[in-house]
Amino acid sequence: MPHREDQLRQTVHFLQRYALDPKRSRPLVLSGPSGTGKSSTARLASLIASQHAKKNRVNCGFAAINCQKARTLNGILTGIANFVHPFGITTGLPTDHIAKLIGEKLSEASVSFIIVLDELDFLGEAARAAVVKYLMDVPLNYRSTPFGLVCILREGDIRVGSARTNPLKTAPTGSIKFPPYNTNELRDILLERAEQAFLPGVLPKQTLDLIAENAAGEGSARLGLELLWRSAKLAEQERAREISTGHAQRVMHYTLATTSLEALPNLGDHELIILYAAHSLFKAQAPASVSIGKLEKEYGRVCAKFGLGARKHTQVWGYVRSLGTMGLLRTQMSGKGQRGKTTNISAPGLRGEAVLAELEKALKRRRLVKV
């Protein structure tokens, strides 16, 4: 991973130190915007560290949990239990029960264990503190070896809440920053991939520059790679001899921002439908902001059109809040001018026209809409 040598070295160092001396380890926080290589660095570092541990006959396991997917403390512990005890059944078990099972399995095997909590800021501050506290208590209650914790966040911190609710409030933590990539760094990253993926000479320098510059707006390698991949697909479809700047320009027009690219696959069906309903409304009116009541009505209409039962009001609220946490919608209490208080919903700075088409594609992929 070009331009992530320092971050990788530091992460590997942390993991190896933990494997050798778990009791003296402190949690590590990786932070930076979407697409800056946090998850990939953690994955690669885990791989390197576990090979190193094996060579030294140290027994150390790893589990990576995506909190955007797992959603709740129960979901996160279920994910960890699946790593610790792959064939055990934990679905529907109470949270305490799963924690106990994890603790027991690990003491039986006497392994040290590192948990990578990815996309932790999706959980919101209170839940974040609760998860961290829980994971730090599992070892105390059931075994002697503490977990190694790697927490990955876009922004924010894990030292949230009070010292009473969050044991990390005052504890020392390690921290590694992942700054947005600049144009030059993105060019290197994209070129390395292009050399692996393409025949020589199909990616002219101007096209590479254009894509790198565009992705540098968000500092995201995810966006850069997505643009490169889509441009190549388009060129291939047209049986062109090379990927032109024209291909790249057309693709840029309808590619989503990096946070949306990452989040869409993790959405539940009804979250996706709500997002689609919201963007249908945004498209129909300017400025792009609607009340929650209006959105709920449109959501009901879309559900009826697809032949699906609509969810209840409180659930819809929960979905809108999740979409807000993921940065896919923006929610705001209405100010003066409207009678009573209501929540207004608008689009964050997404790439306008792209969104509706992309959401439609996602709905088709899930067969919620007839193709």
| Closest residue to Mg ion using C-beta atoms | 39
Q: Which of 39, 214, 231, 255 binds Mg ion (CB under 5 A)?
A: 39
Cβ nearer to Mg ion, comparing 25 with 39: 39
Instruction: Give phi and psi for 28, each to the nearest 5.
Output: -115, 135
Strand partners, 175: 29
Instruction: Please state the closest distance from residue 38 (CB atom) to ligand ADP, in A.
Output: 3
Partner interacting with residue 109 (select from Mg ion, ligand ADP, none; CB below 5-8 Å by kind):
none
Partner interacting with residue 260 (select from Mg ion, ligand ADP, none; CB below 5-8 Å by kind):
none
Instruction: Please state the closest distance from residue 205 (CB atom) to Mg ion, in A.
Output: 30
Antiparallel, parallel or unpaired: β 330-333 and 343-346: antiparallel
Cβ nearer to ligand ADP, comparing 35 with 146: 35
| Closest residue to ligand ADP using C-beta atoms | 37
Amino acid in position 217: G
Partner interacting with residue 225 (select from ligand ADP, Mg ion, none; CB below 5-8 Å by kind):
ligand ADP
Kindly list the residues in this chain that would bind ligand ADP in the complex (CB under 6 A). 1-4, 32, 34-40, 178, 189, 221-222, 225
Partner interacting with residue 90 (select from ligand ADP, Mg ion, none; CB below 5-8 Å by kind):
none
Choose the binding region for Mg ion from 31-39, 42-50, 198-206, 232-240 (rule: CB under 5 A). 31-39
Instruction: Please state the closest distance from residue 117 (CB atom) to ligand ADP, in A.
Output: 12
The burial of 158, by beta-carbon neighbours within 10 Å (0-12 exposed, 13-18 middle, 19 or more buried), is given as: buried
State the Cα–Cα distance between residues 339 and 334, nearest whole angstrom: 9
Written as six digits, the tokens of 145 are 């070896």
CB 290 within 8 A of CB 297: no
**3-class SS at 31?**
strand
Cβ nearer to Mg ion, comparing 39 with 112: 39
Angle, alpha carbons 333-338-341 (nearest 5°): 40
Cβ nearer to ligand ADP, comparing 3 with 26: 3
Around Cβ 6, how many Cβ atoms within 10 Å? 10
State the Cα–Cα distance between residues 137 and 132, nearest whole angstrom: 9
Residue numbers at the binding site for Mg ion (CB under 5 A): 39
